[in-house]
A = this chain, B = another copy of it.
């Protein structure tokens, strides 16, 4: 019998937990509030208690699981050690060892949550059927995850997949939270797109349907108004897509994956956005028509639990 496995995705507000067949079928999922007090010392024991309870209800023994995978919101060393997770209050601990200890020594593996989400999309989402994918998550920031030969490339110093901090724009003047100036995240995240809209409105007197939103303009407003044909909104989408297409081209010339998967809230704009990105990706990659395709993420907020569960199946 193929054993079941679990995926745990630790977020700043809640911990998502999923129970899976080893074939990738999601059997059950639930959430546990993230207790951040006292440097997050209760998070893992809360998770372990919740897992024990749910398994008991289902009459599944802990020993019947192949193991548990876990995604954490920060850099995770190959041995599972976490130096710091700002969002959780964690400092210098090994959550993978701790969770294993709390659950009778069951195998636990862990990795950074953005990388884990990429693995999830490869397994059962927008990258299903591919072994080499790069996921780009356009949310509050721009995250990334690189999966080669079905394995996460976390990098030697935890910088693998940090594509939001690739420098793309020399003319930028504001400083990114990484300390850089002109990062992809500063223009292509939801925050970045909204900022770009405010700056574009301020820079001219041209009429635009974006002006109705004033300084509260959001990335969704920009993409919706661009779809509706507003010239200024379209111009902003072109700028954003150009930098994203450029970065996909850079990735292709370095590791040449099979598939790019675009996720995060901004990706809800769908093929309207990916088609624009693809035009610039093609422009900056004339060397070959044979290159990675671009698709949309499909697992939404569940990518983390899928990828975490997949971690344990290697």
Is A255 touching B253 in the complex (CB atoms < 8 A)?
A: no
Q: Which of the 9-residue segments A50-58, A96-104, A154-162 touches chain B?
A: A154-162
A36 to chain B, nearest CB (A): 25
Q: In the complex, which of the residues B144, B153, B162, B257 contacts A156, with contact meaning CB atoms closer than 8 Å?
A: B257
List chain A positions with a Cβ less than 8 A from chain B.
132, 134, 144, 146, 148, 153-163, 165-167, 178-180, 246-247, 249-258, 284-288, 290-292
Q: Which residues of B contact A162 (CB under 8 A)?
A: 253, 256, 287
A152 to chain B, nearest CB (A): 11
Q: Which residues of B contact A254 (CB under 8 A)?
A: 134, 144, 146, 160-161, 163, 166, 250-251, 254-255
Q: In the complex, which of the residues B166, B253, B286 contacts A249, with contact meaning CB atoms closer than 8 Å?
A: B166
**5 nearest A-B residue pairs (beta carbon):** A155-B256, A179-B286, A159-B256, A178-B287, A157-B290
C-alpha spacing A258/B250, complex, angstroms: 19
Is B156 touching A132 in the complex (CB atoms < 8 A)?
A: yes
Q: Which residues of B contact A288 (CB under 8 A)?
A: 157-159
Is B180 touching A284 in the complex (CB atoms < 8 A)?
A: yes
C-alpha spacing A100/B163, complex, angstroms: 42
